[in-house]
Chains A and B, each alone.
Chain A
Amino acid sequence: MKDTLQDIKIRASQEIQEVLESEKLKGIQVKYLGKKGEITRVLRSMGSLSKEERPVIGNLANQVKEEISVLIEERKAQLARGEKAAQWEKERLDVTLPGNLPFFGQKHPLTLVMDEIKEIFLGMGFTIADGPEIETDYYNFEALNIPKEHPARDMQDSFYISEEIVLRTHTSPVQIRTMEKVAPEVPLRIIAPGKVYRRDDDATHSPMFHQVEGFAVDKDISLGDLKGTLLLFARQMFGKELKIRLRPSFFPFTEPSAEVDISCVMCRGEGCRVCGQSGWLEVLGAGMIHPRVLEVSGYNPEEVTGYAFGMGVERIAMLKYGFDDLRLFFSNDLRMLSQF
């Protein structure tokens, strides 16, 4: 009987190893361990054994039974693992296929640049003001120290609506309008972004473009403060390593006046095509607000001073993104818009 049990064990373990589907293990279990299975049969035939042999064979039978059921359980687990793996294999995806892109839109690159400029100046304690795009001659010129027939009017050929009404040629009128409202209170720190218009149309000029005007009026604002403000701005806009350079210039509404250059963002000041080999890019006009402008706006120029600056948004966007034709901004070509 010992041999029979050994034989059962050997056959069972062989069969178990050969099974490939977990379903079939059920049959093996019934065949060997079931109520009518082979082990049961051995146990039932133990009546013919001696008293001494009975517990030995009984133990052995139980042992074999135990071993077979462990083998079955192990094989079951083994097969289950394999089947899951097969299932997973069936479910495998080509992860290199392109994904389904979320539906997406974007602001215009000029808006992105203006947002960034606003963000920088908001952080420096400036507030945002706006004014009309169609302006009176007074706000666009007279109050800014540009009387009729002033040669400076040559600098900006304007679109007129009537003798006294003009499409604003710069955002500077907002300076006057804001100061008029607030004077004689100080401090005043304002930026004014918006559309402006000049009679020009080529790859570097558009009849409509955007400017951001900025100005500050307080008890003791100096040219040094203007330099500091612009340096801080330029470094946040274009990078920490950036240098700026102020060159004396002329605007009727500021004095002293300056053209502001930044070190070329393309070549880092080494000299390239974009900066005309000079290493510098002109990006801003600025200066100390002219005493007469402070005066007409209701400030006493003996008591307060101020600085003002104005920058072309398209110019900055072109440098920042590497555009070479300004007119592209207004094409609304989705191949352009979708790059941002």
Chain B
Amino acid sequence: MLVSYQWLKDYVDLQMGPEELAEKLTMSGIEVEAVSSFNPGITNTVVGKVLSVEKHPEADKLFVAQVDTGSEISQVVAGIDNFQAGDLVPVAKPGAVLPGGFKIKKSKLRGVTSNGMLCSAEELGLELVHDHGILVLDEEYPVGTDIVTALALDDWILELGLTPNRSDCLGLLGAAYEVSAITGAALKIDFPEFPTVKEDIDNLVEVKIIDEDLCSRYSARIVKNVTVRPSPLWLQRRLLAAGIRPINNIVDVTNYVMWECNQPLHGFDYDRIKDKKIIVRKAEAGELLLTLDEQERKLDESMLVITDPSGPVALAGVMGGFSTEITEQTRTVLIEAACFEPTTIRRTSRNLGLRSESSLRFERGTDPEGTIRAASRAAQLMAQLSSGQVVEGVVDEYPRPVSNLVVPLRRDRAREIIGLDISDQEIKEIMEGLQFETEESGGLLHVTVPPRRSDITREIDLVEEIARIYGYEHIETTLPRGVITQGRKTREQHLEDLAKKLLVSFGLYEAITYSFIPFRQYDDLMLEKEDPLRNVVKVYNPLSEEQGVMRTTLLGNLLHSVKYNVNRNIHNIRLFELGSIFIPRESSSDTLPWERETLAVVLSGKWGIENWSQKPKQVDFYDLKGILELFIQKMGIENYSFSPVNHPAFHPGRAAEISIEGEKLGIMGEIHGEVMSRFDLEGKVYAAEIDFSRILKYAQLHTNFKTLPKYPAALRDLAVVVKDSISSDRIRQEILDTAGELVEELTLFDVYQGEQIPSGYRSLAYSIVYRSREKTLTDKEVNDLHQRVIDTLVKKFEARIRE
């Protein structure tokens, strides 16, 4: 909402400047987003009186005028002569600057000196409607008056950013009430009385409201014998200040009064209303209406229309119809001031993609008590500006009248909620400053709220008025008292924090990616058609297909992040993300999906930081596996295992499923070459995705400290040659099972294939630390134990012992 500072001053006796007013408004809840000068950039330009106009002696298309600029008589050459002696015109004197930085100099045109320039509206940067050529002023001003003052361009525009509850300030009168309440400035809202012609208006027009729930009031006035022409400059200028394009005196007045009273108005060409009957009803499906913008609109039953017996003549509250438009031929105007139901207007304007200043106001709700005042104000202005006459009386259908609301206020309650020691008297003064009447009774203050403040319906609304008019800045700062509460994290929150801390300590960076992904990511990940991950929650209105569905995997996004970095020449990548995936429930679409916390990791490039002294190696499968193993262990989970698995997104021989006690925990491995190329990646990327909700389920963070060993350990090495189809896990398990608790540490320190090892076999070399917690093991005991381990491996796996 654009508010002209000068215009606002018509209604309130303001003693402060625009900047100070803006600050006050902002601090009381009407945010002023900007204050800007209305002067488009004009200097040194004055009102001049034309003394004479003659043809240029040397040029057919030029004219020479003598102009009195107050300080002197100037000779000015002009390119047009749409003015005559006696006219007042804008004269840009030598040295003047016009909008766009255009500088005026003394010059010679075909031998004739020109001391300045006569200006058109365009040259002054104003989109006024007037005759082509020099702007001939339509009011008397002393010669030499600065044009900025004459045209009231020395104004300031306050741009209000209104919250949805304060639609009352969509009119200058509403803004004036607000300004008066917060500054104490006196209101001076007083529309002039005007003459009318005696005629029975009920004989001139009949109004019928069919759908009373959608139109609670319809008021109309008639102005006869109008002459449609451009509005006077003062009115055009005010519309420009409001950001509205002037059109003609009739339309301009409807807009002017809308801006003034926050009541959208519509002017019909009365003579083109069939049978002089207006019927307000829902549109019938398929009905057509050619709107003012000459678009054919197809209507439906959700829309409210203004009709005459021939059909729709306007889309209620949104846009008028072409057939009853005000034209230069219009002689009689019917002014409509109505109150329409907000939701209907909102839907209609949204469905048709038609938003107007009118629909905006109706959507937010208008004051049904304000229709007659606005219609009369418009009638008076129209008659005044168009040499017409207002017909006496108003046609007023008001099937559902509203009345002032009386809201009882407990002042103690207000003081408690605000935390403010404010006196009864101060509260009363605030209410009265808002022009709310008050009445003391039964310990309550009964506050009468006028319909223009439809946002106030209950006590808490009044409490807010008290707080904001008093000023939030004057409310004392306190802290909640009462019972002390303990701030702590839940087990899950602790585990999440720990998980991130661990992964960071392993050298990974945390990524955050969008929760929505393009569905084709599942193709890029080469997931099979029946893969359950393809069962997704779809976004009904995504910004684009790229964000079309809610993710059921984090892998695709992380692969994109790898690509994003590679494109920027960053090749050593180690990222993790901990976030939700969204799994649809099988039943109806109206149940919430299951949101499952998921952890994903990607590694690529080199593992370590390369510099003059160290050359890190390329990351591999086991780097990733090591991270995951240590991560799982540090989350206090012991019984996990990695087993080979086939997954379409991973290398067939380099993927492992991770499980805990038979429950699937996740997957890890080298990304499949085909997937790599679909993500436009080269080299190798290792990735893992883990169901974090299962980690949460099994995590065990309590540490039972084991006392440090008291007895010496015995170290034995063991290298076995076994078929390479035997997984190292089985051998490890066998050693542990055989030697039991006496194995303190078991390290696989070498895996070897090659010379001396038959093909199809490999050598696995272990170092074993044997230790008892009860006694010192003798050499014999250790040797016997070790031999038992060897014998078992030989027997179970046909292992050959390497010496």
Contact = CB atoms under 8 A, between A and B. Distances in A.
Nearest to A216: B480
Given A103-B609, A128-B490, A248-B29, A187 B512 contact: no
A106 B510 contact: yes
A255 B461 contact: yes
Given A256-B418, A257-B464, A128 B493 contact: yes
A105 B508 contact: yes
Interface stretch (B278-286, B367-375, B566-574, B707-715): B566-574
A259 B473 CA distance: 12
Interface string B533-551: 0000111111100010010
A310 to B, nearest CB: 16
Nearest to A166: B540
B363 A151 contact: yes
Interface stretch (A58-66, A79-87, A226-234): A226-234
A10 interface: no
Interface residues of A, number: 88
A160 B550 CA distance: 11
B374 to A, nearest CB: 22
Interface in B399-433: 416-420
Interface in A93-115: 97-98, 100-101, 103-108, 110-111, 115
B194 interface: no
B582 interface: yes
A126 B485 CA distance: 7
A203 interface: no
Interface stretch (A14-22, A31-39, A332-340): A332-340
Interface string A280-297: 000000001011000000
Nearest to B550: A134
Interface stretch (B143-151, B589-597, B696-704, B727-735): B589-597
Contacts of B613: 97, 100
B756 interface: no
Interface of A is mostly: mixed
A247 interface: yes
Given A162-B589, A228-B479, A250 B163 contact: yes
Contacts of A154: 164
A247 B416 contact: no
A249 B497 CA distance: 36
Interface in A154-197: 154-155, 159-165, 167, 186-187, 189, 195, 197
Nearest to A125: B485
Contact of A332 (B165, B475, B506, B561): B561
A124 B573 contact: no
Contacts of B506: 105
A211 interface: no
A171 B473 CA distance: 27
A150 B611 CA distance: 61
A329 interface: yes
B723 interface: no
Nearest to A200: B543
A179 B363 CA distance: 33
A337 B547 CA distance: 23
B516 interface: yes
A201 B792 CA distance: 65
Nearest to B575: A332
B592 A165 contact: yes
A127 B573 CA distance: 35
A245 interface: yes
Interface string B456-477: 0010110110011000110111
A103 B614 CA distance: 12
A231 B476 CA distance: 12
Contacts of B27: 247-248
Given A122-B488, A134-B595, A159-B541, A332 B580 contact: no
A160 B506 CA distance: 39
A163 B574 CA distance: 40
Interface in B310-339: none
Contacts of B343: 149
A26 interface: no
B167 to A, nearest CB: 8
B165 A258 contact: no
A274 to B, nearest CB: 17
B489 A122 contact: yes
Interface stretch (A44-52, A70-78, A217-225): A217-225
B796 interface: no
A105 B592 contact: no
Contact of A160 (B475, B489, B539, B574): B539
Given A100-B611, A107-B510, A248-B472, A331 B485 contact: no
Interface string A256-270: 111100000000000
Contact of B543 (A104, A207, A222): A207
A133 interface: yes
A242 B589 CA distance: 48
Nearest to B363: A151
B483 interface: yes
B419 A334 contact: no
A326 interface: no
A30 B650 CA distance: 79
Interface string A110-139: 110001001001111111100011111000
Contacts of A237: none
A318 interface: no
Contacts of B538: 161
A138 to B, nearest CB: 11
Contacts of B208: none
Given A220-B481, A227-B475, A247-B26, A127 B487 contact: yes
B507 A103 contact: yes
B753 interface: no
A110 B513 CA distance: 12
Contact of B515 (A133, A151, A288, A338): A133
Given A105-B505, A223-B467, A201 B166 contact: no
B478 A227 contact: yes
A333 B512 CA distance: 11
A218 B570 CA distance: 52
Nearest to A97: B612
Contacts of A201: 543
Contacts of B509: 105-106, 108, 334, 337-338
B28 interface: yes
B212 interface: no
Interface string A299-317: 0000001000000000000
Contacts of B364: 151
Given A125-B486, A337-B511, A250 B165 contact: yes
A189 B485 contact: yes
A110 B515 CA distance: 16
A124 B561 CA distance: 37
B476 to A, nearest CB: 5
A330 interface: yes
Given A167-B539, A199-B541, A161 B26 contact: no
A152 interface: yes
Contacts of B543: 199, 201, 207
Nearest to B464: A256
B482 interface: yes
A199 B568 CA distance: 28
B514 A256 contact: no
A97 B611 CA distance: 10
7 contacts: A108-B509, A127-B485, A227-B472, A231-B477, A257-B464, A333-B570, A337-B510
Given A151-B164, A223-B475, 4 more contacts: A136-B592, A199-B543, A246-B473, A247-B27
Interface of B: 26-29, 31, 163-166, 342-343, 346-347, 363-364, 416-420, 458, 460-461, 463-464, 467-468, 472-473, 475-490, 493, 497, 500, 503-516, 537-543, 547, 550, 561, 564-565, 568, 570, 573-575, 579-580, 582, 589-590, 592-593, 595, 608-609, 611-614
Nearest 5 Cβ contacts at the A-B interface? A222-B419, A224-B419, A248-B29, A250-B163, A248-B468
